[in-house]
Amino acid sequence: MNETIQIDRVGGQGDGVGRGASGPVFAPLTLPGETVRGEVLDSRMDRPEIVVASPDRIAPVSPQYGDCGGCSLQHWASGPYLDWKREQVWLALGREGIETEIEPTVATPPGTRRRLALHARRGEDGRVILGFKARKSWRLVEVSACPVADPRLVAAFPALARVAEPFLEHPKSAPTLHVTLTLTGLDVDVTGVERKSGGLSGDQRMQAIRAARQADLARLSLAGEVLMMERQPLVQFGPATVAVPAGGFLQAVPEAEKAMVDRVLAAVKGARKIADLFCGAGTFTFPLATMAPVIAADATEPGIAALKAAVKSARGMKTIEAQARDLFRRPMTPFDLKGCDAIVFDPPRAGALEQTQQITTTKATTVVGVSCNPQTFARDARVLIDAGFRLETVTPVDQFLWSSHIELVGVFRR
């Protein structure tokens, strides 16, 4: 049924929300105050026509806007868009009954993202296309330009399509190229290749390696297995140069990483010993170690191995004690964290409930939570607050520009 509604707000997933004849209606790519018209099916208006536009609506910059599932808020002016991200943090905390100072959202500029996950498929004309998923669909939208990505990634798209072609050998393969721009060039890890039928054949492996060399990739790997490495992919964490593990995690935007590191360092200034939990390959560990000795722990053994190797060549740091440990199944206990007066934790989207419960019984007076999920952060924050901590401040960081995703740094004091 066609309806005309007014959009009241933007919901947590980035869709505009208004009230229709039968209740709330979700309309993508719309803004508060707009009047829109379209067919409503199952509480969704998937193709809204803008009848009256918001004064905050601006021209989108991506040629794939409206079709690609990413960057779904690029039609919103920067000020209200960043305020909305701050409001989402406020709402998440409010659901747990938490009140605190929430700083303005830290913005990141376009053209700075160093990591992309590019899906590869064969088009109807037989050529290989790279792109992102369409909104609410498995359909692939071919991408020729990406305004959020570092231009050096975009320039490599044609060569990356040639690298992707051998991985389409099996009809059931749906390869994804996880591309990272490092100090020594592009690092590509490919997932989604059919393995039940024997995996990639020897001939196609050689074709992939040949294409990777022609593309001047630093490294090419298949689900973490290195196929070709011309140069070790390197990144800089504080005073340390770290060799990135194949398929390893890295913050997507250097400017966002710096904003988070700066706030973490400011929060723990003066600490005598610091724990860095869910440390990865050392994003926070190495900057922290310029201030005090650090205990670092993470479940990923390659990340811990890379961290340990980098310790040997870094200068001007205090002692780093690193261990591979599943902090969900075996969280660090007060005994493990003995002497730590500051604790930093940066868990995946699921949060760190089990580890947070252990933190409450330590002697730490400062805890800093870094999160990519305000909901699980708020849940874990409630545990700390109930144990006697105060959430002093929260800073949202817009690492994933024009999306509904929000990073944040929260500082707790006992």
Domain 2-57 and domain 115-234, same fold? Reply is: yes
**pLDDT value of residue 165:** 96
372 is catalytic: yes
State in words which class domain 115-234 has: mainly beta
Measured between alpha carbons, how far is 237 from 226 in angstroms, rounded to an integer?
23
2-57 CATH pick, 3.40.50.1100, 2.102.10.10, 4.10.490.10, 2.40.50.140: 2.40.50.140
Please give the model's pTM, rounded to 2 decimal places. 0.94
Cβ atoms 257, 265 nearer than 8 A: no
pLDDT recorded at residue 277: 98
Hey, how many other C-beta atoms are within 10 angstroms of the C-beta on 344?
27
User: How far is Cα of residue 56 from the mean position of the Cα atoms in its chain?
Assistant: 27
According to the model, what pLDDT value does residue 270 have? 97
Which pLDDT score is estimated for 319?
97
Rounded CA-CA distance 226/221 in Å is 4
The 3-state DSSP class for residue 143 equals: coil
Question: Quick check: 188 and 179 in contact, CB under 8 A?
Answer: yes
| Size of the chain, expressed as the number of residues it contains | 414
Q: Low-confidence residues of the chain, pLDDT below 70?
A: none
Please give the DSSP secondary-structure letter assigned to residue 37: E
| Joined tokens for residue 50 | 């803008």
56: left (phi over 0), alpha (psi -120 to 50) or beta: alpha
Fold classification of 82-108+253-413 is Rossmann fold (3.40.50)
pLDDT digits (tens, 9 = 90+) for 164-211: 999 999 988 899 999 999 999 999 999 999 887 778 899 999 999 999
- Residues 71, 279, 340, 372: which is the catalytic one? 372
Where in the chain are the domains?
Answer: 2-57, 82-108+253-413, 115-234
